[in-house]
Amino acid sequence: MKVAFFFSLLVFSLFSSQEKDARKNLQQEIIKEHLENGAWNHMLFSKEWQDNIDIGLKKDSTIAYLWQQKAMPLFKQRKYELGIPFIDKAVYYDEQTYLPYRAFIMCIFVKNYSKAIDDFKECIKKYGNQYEMDHTYNFYIALCYLQLNQFNKAEELLFDDIKATISKNGEEWVNPVTLFYYGIAKYEQQKWKEAIVEFDKALKLYPRFSDTKFYKAICLKHLNDNIKANLLLAEGKKDAEEGYTIGESNAIYEKYPYQIIW
């Protein structure tokens, strides 16, 4: 009886594995037909983009990637209320891939900071402090804390983030945007000299970082160094006019926290 049972279990597992492989192959065919050879041949914000994806979803509504690609153009058009149900579907069908993405969207696009924190904390709990869009989950939680005026929490998280990067790869691998926000956390707590130290580190890596120059200038004004502050503001304005600002890829669609409109 035991031999028969284990043989039946082995056969079931084999057929189950084959069925999963067949379904995965079919999904890849749908993605290729309706995304690679469909939606991607049209403008991002076009009706044709959405129509092609909808046809694919009618064939298999469990393909998380199609839901994400359906949502993404809506976020970039600031149509958040329309996009959220679609990204929720992507998370439902592939949480490990799209929960961090939804958290990022909530932080940078939708600006629902409490929801973003909840999602990122869930990501850390399940998958560790990984990366999304070139930054750690804790980096984005820190940004959320800045936007919720919980500056000490942001400072602690950014300090840990920078320390971990230096320990693993060295100082030259620290992202200047991370140093910028670390300086902002100190700036908001009126730690003017400490903020300048971090802003200088960011400027060493990114010498024409206009937003950093702006906040460093404000710190200098608080320290009564008005001449240097005014010179730095003029420099920063020129840098901004030439496009030197926060260099995140999605910054063309959304202003990042503390990004200056000169």
Look at residue 5 and tell me whether its pLDDT is greater than 50.
no
Look at residue 17 and tell me whether its pLDDT is greater than 90.
no
**Segment 166-175 mean pLDDT:** 91
Q: Is 100 in contact with 141 (CB distance < 8 Å)?
A: no
CATH classification (class only), 151-262: mainly alpha
- Proportion of the chain in helix, strand, coil states, percent, rounded to 5: 75, 0, 20
User: Nearest-CA neighbor of 30 among 61, 3, 73?
Assistant: 61
**Segment 149-167 mean pLDDT:** 97
User: Nearest-CA neighbor of 38 among 25, 22, 13, 57?
Assistant: 57
Which pLDDT score is estimated for 167?
Answer: 93
Q: Is 92 in contact with 73 (CB distance < 8 Å)?
A: no
Look at residue 255 and tell me whether its pLDDT is greater than 80.
yes
Look at residue 121 and tell me whether its pLDDT is greater than 50.
yes
Residues 48-87 have pLDDT tens digits of 999 999 999 999 999 999 999 999 999 999 999 999 999 9
Look at residue 3 and tell me whether its pLDDT is greater than 70.
no
Look at residue 207 and tell me whether its pLDDT is greater than 90.
yes
Average pLDDT, the chain: 94
Which pLDDT score is estimated for 21?
Answer: 79
Q: pTM for the full model? A: 0.89
Confidence of residue 177 (pLDDT cuts 50, 70, 90): very high
Confidence of residue 184 (pLDDT cuts 50, 70, 90): very high
Look at residue 11 and tell me whether its pLDDT is greater than 50.
no
**CA distances from residue 215 to 41, 137, 156, 246 in whole angstroms, order as listed:** 43, 25, 20, 13
